[in-house]
A and B are shown apart, each in its own frame.
Chain A
Amino acid sequence: MSTPDRTPDMRPAGAVESSTPVHVKERPEGPAAAALLAAGIGVAALGLVTTVAAASETVNDWLRLSESVGPLSGKTIFAVVVWLVAWAVLHPLLRRSRLSGTVLVITAVLVLIGVIGTFPIFFEAFAPE
C-alpha cells in the first residue's frame, strides 16, 4: 500500500505542526529602559524649558534661534538634543539591566512633567506681571 501524500486533514504527510515554537533570540531589556528614560528626559526638558522661557525674558530671547519661528525654535531643538544625548549616554550604561518598575515610574513622572510644563495655564503662571 503506498503512503498517502496527504494526511486525512489534508496537510502534506510529515508536515510540522504550525504551533511548533520557533526559537526567538532573547534580547536584554536594558536598551528598552534606556530608550524610555531618555524619552522621558527629553519630554521633561521640553516642559522645563517652556516654563523657564515663560518666566524669564532673557531665556526666552536666547531661545529665539530663528526670528520667524521665535523661541519655539530653541525650545524644540533643545529638547530633541537633550533626548538624543540622554539616549546615547543611557544605552551603553543600561544595556545589561532589566526594565524595572522604577524605570517605568521615573519615565512616567518625567513625561508628566513635560506635559504639565507645556500646558499654557501652568507655564503662563510663571510669566512676569
Chain B
Amino acid sequence: MELTYREWWALIHGVVLGGLFLLAFAGGLAELYALRPAVETPSGLRTSARRIGVGITSMAVVAWATVITGTWVVYPWYRDPAEDSPRSTLLADESTELWHTFGMEWKEHIAWISPILATVAAFLVLYYGQALARNNRLRYVTIVVFVVAFAVAAVAGLFGALITKAAPVT
C-alpha cells in the first residue's frame, strides 16, 4: 500500500485540495443562501458573515493551491515525453487518446477559472460582510459566482479522476 512520491503529490492535488474545495462548496452555498434577515437575527448575521468570510476565503486559497500544484507539480510528470508517461500512454492507443486530446486539454485550462471566481466570491463576502444580507442582488451575484467556480472545478475534478483511472501518474 505504498505510494510513490509522484502518487503522493497527485493525491494531494486531487483528493486533498481538490476534494476539500468541492466538499466545502455545499456548506458555503447553504450559508450564503441563509444570509438573510428573514432567517437570522442581527447578531446571527454578524457571526455568519464572519464565518462565511473565513470559509470562502479558505476555499479560494485551496482552489489556488489545487491549480498551482496541478499545473506546476503533477502536470509535468503527466506530459513527460517518455513513452510510459500518462500522456504518451493515452495517445498511443486510439481508444484512449480522447482522454488526453479532450479530457486533459479541457481540464488543464478550465480549472484556472475556478480560483479567479472563488477569489471574487471571497472578496464580495469579505468586503460587504453582513451588508450582503440586505442587498439581495449582490448576494445572488455572489452565489452565482460561487456556483460557477464550483462548476468549473467539478469539471476539472471529474476529468482528473477519470484520467487518473485511465493513466495514473506513478
The answer to whether A binds B is yes
Assess whether A60 is interfacial by the CB under 8 Å rule: no
Assess whether A1 is interfacial by the CB under 8 Å rule: no
Identify which of residues 104-153 in chain B touch chain A, using a CB-to-CB cut-off of 8 Å.
105-106, 108-110, 112-113, 116-117, 119-120, 123-124, 127-131, 133-135, 137-138, 141, 145, 148, 152
Is the pair B110, A99 in contact by a Cβ cutoff of 8 Å?
no
Interface of A is mostly: helix
Assess whether B42 is interfacial by the CB under 8 Å rule: yes
Interface of B is mostly: helix
Assess whether A68 is interfacial by the CB under 8 Å rule: yes
Residues of A within 8 A of B148 (CB): 111
Closest CB-CB distance, A19 to chain B, in whole Å? 7
Residues of A within 8 A of B27 (CB): none
Partner of A115 from the list B113, B120, B129, B135 (CB cut-off 8 Å) is B113
Most buried by A among B108, B109, B113, B133: B109
Assess whether A43 is interfacial by the CB under 8 Å rule: yes
Is the pair B123, A35 in contact by a Cβ cutoff of 8 Å?
yes
Is the pair B116, A24 in contact by a Cβ cutoff of 8 Å?
no
Q: How large is the interface on A (under 10, 10 to 19, 20 to 34, 35 or more residues)?
A: 35 or more
Is the pair A99, B116 in contact by a Cβ cutoff of 8 Å?
no
Identify which of residues 53-71 in chain A touch chain B, using a CB-to-CB cut-off of 8 Å.
66, 68-70
Q: Contacts A24-B130, A31-B127, A69-B71; is A46 near B112 (CB within 8 Å)?
A: yes
Closest CB-CB distance, A95 to chain B, in whole Å? 11
Residues of A within 8 A of B137 (CB): 99
Shortest Cβ distance from A18 into B: residue:
B41
Shortest Cβ distance from B106 into A: residue:
A120
Shortest Cβ distance from B42 into A: residue:
A22
Shortest Cβ distance from A36 into B: residue:
B120
A20 to B112, CA, bound (A): 44
Is the pair B116, A32 in contact by a Cβ cutoff of 8 Å?
no
Identify which of residues 52-81 in chain B touch chain A, using a CB-to-CB cut-off of 8 Å.
67, 71-72, 75-76, 79
- Chain B residues with a Cβ under 8 A of chain A: 41-43, 46, 67, 71-72, 75-76, 79, 101-102, 105-106, 108-110, 112-113, 116-117, 119-120, 123-124, 127-131, 133-135, 137-138, 141, 145, 148, 152
- Chain A residues with a Cβ under 8 A of chain B: 18-22, 24-27, 29, 31-32, 35-36, 39, 42-43, 46, 50, 66, 68-70, 72-73, 75-76, 79-80, 83, 99, 104, 111, 114-115, 118-121, 124
Q: Which 6 A-B residue pairs are closest in the complex by CB-CB distance?
A: A68-B76, A118-B109, A22-B42, A120-B105, A39-B120, A18-B41
